[in-house]
Amino acid sequence: MSRQWILASQEGFDKSLQYQQNVKIPSPNELRPNEVLVRIHAASLNYREIQIADPNGINGPIKPPVIPGCDGAGVVLAVGPSVQEFHPGDKVITWSGPKLAEERGDDALPGIPDAPIMMGQGSDGTLRSVGVFAEKALVHAPESLDWLQAATLTCTWTTAWNALFAVQGKNAGPGTWVLVQGTGGVSVAALQLAVAAGATVVATTSTDAREASLKMLGAAHTVNYRSNPTTWGSKAKSVTPDGRGFDIVIDVGGNETLPQSLEAVRVDGTVVLGGAVGSISEPVPMFEAFMHTCWVRGILLGSRNQLKQVVRYIDEKGIQPAVDDVVFELAEAKDAYRRLNEKKHFSKVVIRIDHSDDA
C-alpha cells in the first residue's frame, strides 16, 4: 500500500490538500504499455504548487482530485511492455511535461497555454510514495546525487539551464557576468551552474546570513536588495568591469523586479524572465526595456532534453545542488508548502519519502 496527497480543489493549500494512506499500488501486469511504476524517495516543491492550489493563481484550473508536485526522484519497480528507456532498478527523476514531449518531442519548450497539462496539475505528480508515470515523464537520475538533491532538478534546474545556456552566443561561461536574484530555487541553481561554467556571479539577498551562504556557493559579490530597494540594480551593475552591466540577468520577481533588472543589464545583454514570485500588479515596463537596448527573453521551465543535459553536466562537474536545511517527511507536506509560501527557505524545499514502514 502507498501514501499520497491529493489536491481536491483550488481553495488554497491548507484547505485543498488531503492526505491519503493505504492506497492500492498497481501490479506490474496492470501497467499500460508506456507506463513505469516508480517508488518515490524524495520530492521538492516549486512556487507553481502554491499557485496551482490558489483560486487566484495564474496557472489555471485543475481536474480534481490530482496528486500535486512535479519534482521527484526514485527507483523503477516495473515497466510496461513498450517502455524502452528504463528498466527495473534504474534511478530516475521526473520530467514535468510528459504529454508535451509525447506530442511535440523531447525538445519541446513549455509555454503558458501548456500549464494545465503539466504534471501535478493535468496529470498526477510526485507527492506520493509510489506512482505510475508515463515513460516521457522520467529521465535517468544523476549518479552523483542523493535522493533529496536529485529531486530538485525537474523545474528549477531546467529553468536555470534554459536561462543560461539555451541561446548560442549568449550563454554563460568564462568572461561573462551573471546576476541572480535572491535565494530561491531557480536563483541558487543558476548561481551554481554559472559558477561551474566559469562565469562571475553576483547575487542579491536580504540578510547577512544568506549572503554568507551565497558566497559559499561561489557568488563573487552580493547586494542587499532590502537595504537598496530602488537602487540594487545600479549597485550591482557598478561591480561589473567598467560598470558595463551584466551579460545575463535572471529575473524571478516579475514586474516588481524587472525595472531593476533592466538597470543592471549591459547593452545587448539578456534579461531572462524566469519567474513571478513578486507582485504582478505593476505594468510591464516595456519602454524601459526599449531604452536599455537589451534582449528580454521569457521562459517557462525547459525541455526534456535540457533536463538530460542538466543531469550530464551535474555529474561531469560534480555539482552538489543546495537544498533547504529543513527537511520534511511526506505526511508533513502542508508544512513544506507553508515554509515555501512564507519564503523562509533557502534554495529548494525538499520532502523525504521514507519506506522503512512500508508493507
Where exactly are the structural domains of the chain?
A: 2-155+302-352, 167-298
pLDDT category at 291 given cuts 50, 70, 90 is confident
Pairwise CA distance, residues 67 & 18, whole Å: 10
Over residues 164-182, the pLDDT tens digits come to: 999 999 999 999 999 999 9
Pairwise CA distance, residues 166 & 62, whole Å: 30
2-155+302-352 in CATH: which number? 3.90.180.10
From the list 108, 110, 112, 93, the residue with the least C-alpha distance to 44 is 93
From the list 91, 62, 85, 88, the residue with the least C-alpha distance to 134 is 85
Check whether 283 has a pLDDT greater than 80.
Answer: no
Q: What are phi and psi of 220, to 5 degrees?
A: -80, -35
Residues 6+ apart with CB under 8 A from 179: 201, 202, 203, 204, 236, 246, 248, 249, 250, 261, 264, 265
- For residue 6, the Cα-to-chain-centroid distance in whole angstroms is 21
Over residues 120-170, the pLDDT tens digits come to: 999 999 999 999 999 999 999 999 999 999 999 999 999 999 999 999 999
From the list 355, 348, 341, 336, the residue with the least C-alpha distance to 5 is 336
| Superfamily of 167-298 according to CATH | NAD(P)-binding Rossmann-like Domain (3.40.50.720)
